[in-house]
């Protein structure tokens, strides 16, 4: 089913206790969060805003081996001060929770995740990034249709796999994921690459995202503790969260490193401090 559709839902993969441990840990991280005003980058997936907010921001570009904070639109005033409580203003925390935080490290390398990797035939999987996504009530922004391989490109394609863990029930009302089944078989039409030195932004887009037929998207609700496996080239999106409940998720991406090269043009690069760690321990 995964190979046919490009995604797979595994309900109740994690226990409620494991989900709660991640949520409690993220609250501790937020409580200690000190964000320099110049680093208060708002997270957006709309291309122009993405280039402005993230592309001009070294904070984003150098976040691959750190735990960093990204905010929803409209939660900061022009001086970079919070207009609402900081824990309600945050969009995501990325991109190396799996390496630096003991709770998220334990979940990422848990025996059942490793076993799943082996069942999928992964021989040398490495973890390239992780994120905690909040999808805040009322303001959790939409994520426009995209393929993960646009941002995390490999040669050859087909070596990237996302693990998306629902830490709360994800329903249509609070912004669950939507997929186009089978859309992972026609390659990638757009890539986000590091811009040449001296450019006004740090990243740029090459190619364009096609106009997808809305009627082809299938909503994929999932209960707390469920896991969605996401092929790197399957087209997916999520809508604005206009409900009164958040939709917390922890997600990480794995690359099959055997006979694969990681694009030097990707925004995210392994560093001497954090080479991509092996999934298998």
Q: What is the DSSP string of 223-241?
A: -TT-EEEEETT--EEE--B
Total number of domains in the chain: 1
Averaged over successive runs of 10 residues, the pLDDT of the chain (281 residues) comes to 97 98 97 71 71 64 92 78 86 96 98 98 98 93 94 98 98 97 96 86 90 97 98 97 95 98 96 97 95
The predicted pLDDT at position 55 comes to 46
Position 281 in a domain: no
CB of 82 closer than 8 Å to CB of 37: no
Residue 155 and residue 204: Cα distance in Å, rounded?
19
Identify whether 270 is part of a domain: no
Domain-located, residue 275: no
Q: Rounded to two decimals, what is the model's pTM?
A: 0.93
Q: For the chain, first and last CA: distance in Å?
A: 28
Instruction: Annotate 103-120 with b (16+ C-beta within 10 A) or e (fewer).
Output: bbbebbbeeebbebbeee
Q: Quickly tell me which residue has 């081996």 as its tokens.
A: 65
Whether the Cβ atoms of residue 176 and residue 219 lie closer than 8 Å to each other: yes
- Residue 176 is assigned to a structural domain of this protein: yes
DSSP symbol at 266: S
Helix (H, G, I), strand (E, B) or coil at 70: strand
* CATH number reported for the structural domain that contains residue 10 in this entry: 2.60.120.620
Contact yes or no for 82/234 (Cβ under 8 A): no
Closest CA to 107 of 13, 38, 234: 13
Supply the range of the domain harboring residue 161.
Answer: 1-262
pLDDT at residue 36, rounded to an integer: 59
Q: What length is written for the chain?
A: 281
User: In this structure, what token pair is assigned to residue 19?
Assistant: 């989900």
At 52 the pLDDT is 60
Helix locations, the chain, DSSP H: 2-5, 16-31, 47-50, 58-61, 86-89, 97-100, 102-108, 111-119
């Amino acid at each position: 089913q995964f190979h046919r559709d490009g995604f797979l839902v595994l309900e109740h993969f994690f226990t409620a206790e494991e989900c709660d441990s991640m949520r409690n840990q993220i609250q501790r991280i937020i409580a200690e969060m000190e964000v320099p005003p110049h680093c208060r980058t708002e997270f957006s997936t709309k291309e122009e805003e993405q280039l402005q907010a993230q592309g001009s921001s070294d904070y984003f570009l150098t976040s691959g081996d750190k735990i960093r904070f990204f905010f929803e639109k409209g939660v900061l005033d022009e001086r970079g001060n919070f207009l609402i409580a900081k824990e309600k203003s945050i969009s995501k925390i990325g991109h190396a929770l799996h390496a630096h935080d003991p709770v998220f490290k334990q979940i990422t390398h848990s025996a059942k995740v490793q076993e799943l990797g082996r069942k999928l035939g992964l021989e040398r999987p490495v973890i390239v990034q992780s994120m905690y996504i909040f999808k805040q009530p009322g303001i959790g922004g939409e994520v426009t249709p995209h393929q993960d391989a646009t941002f995390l490109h490999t040669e050859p394609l087909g070596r990237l796999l996302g693990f998306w863990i629902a830490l709360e029930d994800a329903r249509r009302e609070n912004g669950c994921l939507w997929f186009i089944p089978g859309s992972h078989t026609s390659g990638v039409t757009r890539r986000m690459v590091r811009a040449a030195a001296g450019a006004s932004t740090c990243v740029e887009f090459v190619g364009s995202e096609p106009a997808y037929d809305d009627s082809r998207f299938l909503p994929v609700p999932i209960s707390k503790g469920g896991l969605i496996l996401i092929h790197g080239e399957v087209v997916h999106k999520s809508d604005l969260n206009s409900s009164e409940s958040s939709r917390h998720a922890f997600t990480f991406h794995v690359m099959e490193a055997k006979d694969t090269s990681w694009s030097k043009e990707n925004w995210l690069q392994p560093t001497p401090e954090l080479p991509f760690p092996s999934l298998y321990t």
